[in-house]
Amino acid sequence: MDLQALVDAASSRDWDTDPVGTVSYAVVGLGNYARNVSIPAIEAGDYGELGAVVSGHHEKASRVAEAHDAVALSYEQYAEGEATAAYDAVYIATPNRLHLDHIHTAADQQKAVICEKPLEATAERAEAAVEACETAGVTLMTAYRMQADPVIRALATYVSEGGIGEPTKALGEFTFPVLAGSKGADQWRLDAELAGGGALMDVGVYPLNTTRFLLGSEPIAVEGMASASEPFGDRPEDPECPQFADEHIHFHTEFPTGIVGDFTASFSGSAASWLEVVGTEGRFRVENAFAPGGERELTVETDSGRVELSGLGADETREEFDYFAHCLLTGTPPEPDGLDGLIDVEVMSAVYEAAQTGHRVDVGAGADGR
């Protein structure tokens, strides 16, 4: 793939076969992201529509449902199977440790599931989520929106076709000042038990998963360092809450054939998100890499020269929901499936172990070739 082909691919859908029909979604959890990013993306797409919304707050559910001509449900009504005719698939956007219960409900109702990342708060619960959907015979996709981003998809092809030679290392950062929002410290992201961790689970998963996708490879070992100040509260020694509530984390990954990754994630500091992949014959860097709907800035350097590109791609959240609906309409398994989400939770659990012990930790996902 030459640079012109890369530009063309970064502005197109390589998966779209123009199927007939639409998929109606039930959105479970009506936090800020679901209301202001996900629901508009569903409605802006070609293959999706909003059928129902589920919330523990009656007024919020009613208000959102009325604004979007959808059915309003409580969590109890959702669990009891009310109004299942209003939707074909379920999008889960609740706090991480609640994902499994909502996935079980969808699987019991024979509804396909797209679940926000991370798939669950622990590897054991993520594995149970995968098994629940496999047993029920329903599709499970982990909501890795970057895998639907046309720029990232084009770069994955560029890497696989030798655009930068043999990859040697990947570098990335995602800093999200989580206290800057209206909720301050009163939010579930700062509850390590509910979230499964801190910055790593919420934003560090982006450079991790995107790198795995770009390389088409799984980590075989990790190292890590983490720290936190109040109100984050790093608690690795608390037996009642073994998860970290990391404010900052720096982790190193080792991939097969000697490829290494070096990533940071933070819940405080100046906001930033970028990813760089280096190879034997070139490199590329994506600025504003993980911001929802952000305009990607891409720099590619090879033996032929240096090129800076901007204005590429599309709203990756809209692409994500259309891609999932396309998979359901065409009977195609999604690429970021439940196993993809499980592997990341396993890797992040290993990073926390490495940060707590100060030792390199082997990762089963890469070691057993899953």
CATH 3.30.360.10: which residues of the chain?
A: 146-314+335-367
Q: CB–CB of 279/164 below 8 Å?
A: yes
Half-sphere exposure of 179 (CA within 13 A, CB side): 12
185 vs 217: CA distance, rounded Å: 37
Q: Which whole number is the average pLDDT over 282-300?
A: 93
Q: How much is the pLDDT for 181?
A: 76
pTM of the full predicted structure?
0.94
CA distances from 109 to 104, 112, 143, 325, 361 (A): 9, 9, 20, 18, 39
pLDDT, one tens digit per residue, over 20-53 is: 999 999 999 999 999 999 999 999 999 999 999 9
* CATH code reported for the domain at 15-144: 3.40.50.720
Choice between 173 and 243, residue whose per-residue pLDDT is larger? 173
Q: What's the maximum distance between 2 C-alpha atoms anywhere in the chain?
A: 61
Q: Which whole number is the average pLDDT over 73-80?
A: 98
Q: Mean pLDDT score of the chain, rounded to an integer?
A: 93
pLDDT surpassing 90 at residue 244: no
Percentage of the chain lying above the pLDDT 70 cut: 95
* CATH code reported for the domain at 146-314+335-367: 3.30.360.10
Using pLDDT thresholds of 50, 70 and 90, give the confidence band for residue 243: low
DSSP, res 18: -
